[in-house]
A and B are shown apart, each in its own frame.
Chain A
């Protein structure tokens, strides 16, 4: 168990809908990262937060947004869902940005039908 908790583990929804993925980082970790892994693809960085502030953005679609709350948990919102958004979404956390070991949650498997 990495200590990073993601909910839900599985999500099936229809095209056009909106979903929210939740992540609780390890105790003491201030930095949260979101990654997307599509079928047979590598892990693509979406967005990073540090202590409530957005710090880096990857190839995140405009339909996607995220935030980190004062209690340090984070949510990734995906809207106007398309079939191509079906993927495994990971959250990771680390104590600081970049130069410390990152730990990943179990992921949320999103299926858009």
Chain B
């Protein structure tokens, strides 16, 4: 099956810093999503981005499907950004999301 690798596994930032999270996948995908799991366990949709670039406030994401990677940018980080960021992909129209192991982000005031 498809492999989804996220890096770095852990990241500690000072409040106000910027960061880039990476997601590599081993096969062509037709769906890619980024999620934020907050400290209470909720999975929050950030981006649905099988290709191209999207921005939502301080967050933006880029997927280069031909090179099999996606990047999540967080600018001017805040303590509320802390949690685990997951990348998840589907390989074909009938398959469920396959998740990476996540990047655990801690933002320190």
Contact = CB atoms under 8 A, between A and B. Distances in A.
Contacts of A33: 96-97
Interface stretch (A14-22, A77-85, A90-98): A90-98
Given A98-B90, A101-B33, A102-B33, A42 B95 contact: no
Contacts of B35: 104
Contacts of B48: 101
A43 B85 CA distance: 12
Interface residues of B, number: 24
Contacts of B43: 90, 104, 107
Contacts, number: 58
Contacts of B31: 98-101
Contacts of B30: 98-99
Interface in A54-100: 55-56, 58, 88, 90, 92, 96-100
A43 to B, nearest CB: 4
Interface string A28-68: 00000101000000110100100000011010000000000
Given A33-B97, A42-B99, A56-B96, A99 B90 contact: yes
Contacts of B93: 96-99
Chain A interface residue bracket vs B: 20 to 34
B33 A43 contact: no
A92 B86 CA distance: 15
B94 interface: yes
B41 A98 contact: no
14 contacts: A2-B45, A42-B86, A42-B99, A43-B99, A48-B96, A96-B93, A97-B93, A98-B92, A99-B93, A101-B45, A102-B97, A103-B45, A104-B35, A106-B42
